Amino acid sequence: MPVFKTPFNGYSVKFSPFYESRLAVATSQNFGILGNGRLHVIDLSPAPLGPGVPRQPITELVSYDTADGVYDVAWSESHDSLLVAAIADGSVKIYDTALPPASNPLRSLHEHTREVSSADYNPTRRDSFLTSSWDDTVKLWTVDRPASVRTFKEHAYCVYSAVWNPRHADVFASASGDCTLRVWDVREPGSTMIIPAHELEILACDWNKYDDCCIATASVDKSIKVWDVRSIRVPISVLNGHGYAVRKVKFSPHRQSLIMSCSYDMSVCLWDYMVEDALVARYDHHTEFAVGVDMSVLVEGLLASTGWDELVYVWQHGTDPRAP
């Protein structure tokens, strides 16, 4: 299946919600410590053009250079050409692939005081997005406003991930290095729930797409935990199998109990948290930390991953990501 080589280290990969063959990739130079960044928009090519014409598996539609690393990217849910990028200098940049490169970024929003670690577009309201930062805050933005709508400040350490609930337009969750998961309602003054989910830093979280009370957390403790927010005393499931910190976790848009994860152990795993032998598949195609994963909403079973080996893989579940 297709592989795309990036000049810098991969940080995040996201399928377009509008075009089944389009993805965005966030990358950072020098493992994100110091240096430039680049945001790539890539297309999976259809079958070869004809006999004897070599297939170009992935083509780059456009790329945008940034003075600092790009840590995450989110596609707009309302405009097929809009992207939100989380930048290491604390800025949030909005790009429009329909405009010429010189007109981009469309907007650069400077409010976070440290690296921006995640961006997530509201899937139900479709006009707003969240960013989380190492400045311990989460910010709510709308595309048309030059300043954030609100800042959520309760976490005691870096917020690595903030993710909207797929059903409730006002509800989101945040995962932090303070070892808590917090659930928020933007209509309320403070968080509505605090879950001390792990004893070590929580690097990511994601909501189940079919059960709006179910959320997964991924931690430095090497585990993934699945929670029911109506009963948080113990997790529904604990998924052990990664050898190092779990960097990202993602629920399937097609199967209720399917979870995708990636880790500093360089592997990408698929899990079914509802069965006893939860590990469905383990892919060991990366040769450095695997730090970004996504599942296509439009094509069931189509997976993507990226990592510090400067590679982006796109493959169908059950096939070898490295197979030509």
Specify whether the CB–CB gap between 197 and 227 falls below 8 A.
yes
For the stretch 126-180, pLDDT in tens is: 999 999 999 999 999 999 999 999 999 999 999 999 999 999 999 999 999 999 9
Alpha-carbon span 122 to 119, nearest angstrom: 10
For the stretch 25-84, pLDDT in tens is: 999 998 777 899 999 999 998 755 566 666 568 999 999 999 999 999 999 999 999 999
Q: State how far the alpha carbon of 147 is from the alpha carbons of 73, 101, 131, 263, in Å.
A: 19, 24, 13, 34
Beta bridge partner(s), residue 91: 110
In a domain, 319, yes or no: no
At residue 299, what is the residue type? Answer: V
Instruction: Give residue 324's pLDDT band: very low, low, confident or very high (50, 70, 90).
Output: confident
Alpha-carbon span 38 to 312, nearest angstrom: 14
In a domain, 29, yes or no: yes
In a domain, 323, yes or no: no
DSSP assigned state of 101: G
Alpha-carbon span 132 to 177, nearest angstrom: 12
Alpha-carbon span 269 to 20, nearest angstrom: 22
In a domain, 324, yes or no: no
Specify whether the CB–CB gap between 57 and 73 falls below 8 A.
no
Average pLDDT, integer, range 242-259: 98
User: What's the distance, CA 207 to chain centroid?
Assistant: 12
Strands 116-121 and 107-110: unpaired
Position 2 scores a pLDDT of 87
Position 56 scores a pLDDT of 66
What tokens were used for 94?
Answer: 């909005």
Average pLDDT, integer, range 215-227: 98
SS3 label, residue 29: helix
DSSP conformation letters of 98-160 = TS-GGG--SEEEE--SS-EEEEEE-TTT-SEEEEEETTSEEEEEETT-SS-SEEEE--SS-EE
In a domain, 322, yes or no: no
Strands 279-283 and 290-295: unpaired
In a domain, 269, yes or no: yes
Alpha-carbon span 190 to 240, nearest angstrom: 32
Q: Based on the structure, what is the number of domains in the chain?
A: 1
Alpha-carbon span 193 to 323, nearest angstrom: 45
| CA Rg value for the chain | 18
In a domain, 89, yes or no: yes
Position 45 scores a pLDDT of 83
| pLDDT more than 70, % of the chain | 97
Strands 116-121 and 128-133: antiparallel
Position 48 scores a pLDDT of 58
For the stretch 277-321, pLDDT in tens is: 999 999 999 999 999 999 999 999 999 999 999 999 999 999 999
* Domain housing 100: 1-314
At residue 198, what is the residue type? Answer: H
Specify whether the CB–CB gap between 161 and 149 falls below 8 A.
no
For the stretch 184-215, pLDDT in tens is: 999 999 999 999 999 999 999 999 999 999 99
Beta bridge partner(s), residue 93: 85, 108
Instruction: Give residue 120's pLDDT band: very low, low, confident or very high (50, 70, 90).
Output: very high
Number of C-beta neighbours around residue 251 at 10 A:
25
In a domain, 190, yes or no: yes
CATH code of the domain in which 235 resides: 2.130.10.10
